[in-house]
């Protein structure tokens, strides 16, 4: 199943990319929301091959996710692959400069089931496609707002 959305961000493309690749800040944000995040690679700089193990609760059950940064093209592209017991997925974040201080972020998420229960779960999402797409758009809009807030805070220092 594929989810896709576009959001415009009031910040230069280089700053949007810098904020998106501040993985330590995203790790802290996930931990504040109750997830356990551990970096599992030995890379010292931003590069494809960065890996994380994430443990979180979804529908009152603990879930484990292995996440890897598979491709990076500075400052326009980030690709991730994730695998859990029930599903696997790929995410792509593409950035396009619209103006000097305006960036369009195109986020695509492809999810495929690895079990029968996951297949049934995705089928239920397909039946409620309009509502699921609306919620996905809202979450990405919230992410874009967070990026704008972090950009303004960084600029004010």
When pLDDT is cut at 50, 70 and 90, the band that residue 157 belongs to is: low
What residue numbers bound the domain in which 87 lies?
Answer: 2-155
pLDDT of residue 59: 86
Largest CA distance in the chain: 51
pLDDT at 18: 97
DSSP conformation class of 128: T
Q: How far apart are CA 90 and CA 28, in angstroms?
A: 22
Question: What distance in Å separates the CA atoms of residue 132 and residue 125, rounded to the nearest whole number?
Answer: 7
The count of structural domains within the chain is 1
| pLDDT tens readout for residues 24-69 | 999 999 999 999 999 999 999 999 999 999 999 988 999 999 999 9
| Order of strands across the sheet that contains 51-58 | 2-9, 102-113, 87-99, 77-84, 61-73, 51-58, 36-39
What are the pLDDT digits (tens) for 74-130? 999 999 999 999 999 999 999 999 999 999 999 999 999 999 999 999 999 999 999
Q: How many CA atoms lie within 13 A of 9 on its CB side?
A: 32
Query: What is the domain-level CATH number for residue 42?
Result: 3.30.530.20
Say whether pLDDT at 156 is over 90. no
Say which residue, 47 or 154, is predicted with more confidence. 47
């Amino acid at each position: 199943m594929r989810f896709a959305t576009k959001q415009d961000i009031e910040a230069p493309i280089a700053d949007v990319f810098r904020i998106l690749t501040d993985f330590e800040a995203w790790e802290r944000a996930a931990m504040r929301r109750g997830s356990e995040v551990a970096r599992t690679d030995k890379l010292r700089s931003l590069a494809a091959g960065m890996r994380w193990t994430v443990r979180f609760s979804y529908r009152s059950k603990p879930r484990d996710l292995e996440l890897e940064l598979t491709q990076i093209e500075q400052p326009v592209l980030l690709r991730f692959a994730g695998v859990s017991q029930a599903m696997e997925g790929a995410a792509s974040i593409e950035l396009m400069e619209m103006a000097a201080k305006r960036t369009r972020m195109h986020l695509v998420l492809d999810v495929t089931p690895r079990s029968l229960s996951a297949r049934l779960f995705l089928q239920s999402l397909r039946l409620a496609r309009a509502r699921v797409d609306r919620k996905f758009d809202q979450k990405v809009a919230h992410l874009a707002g967070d990026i704008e807030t972090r950009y303004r805070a960084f600029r004010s220092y």
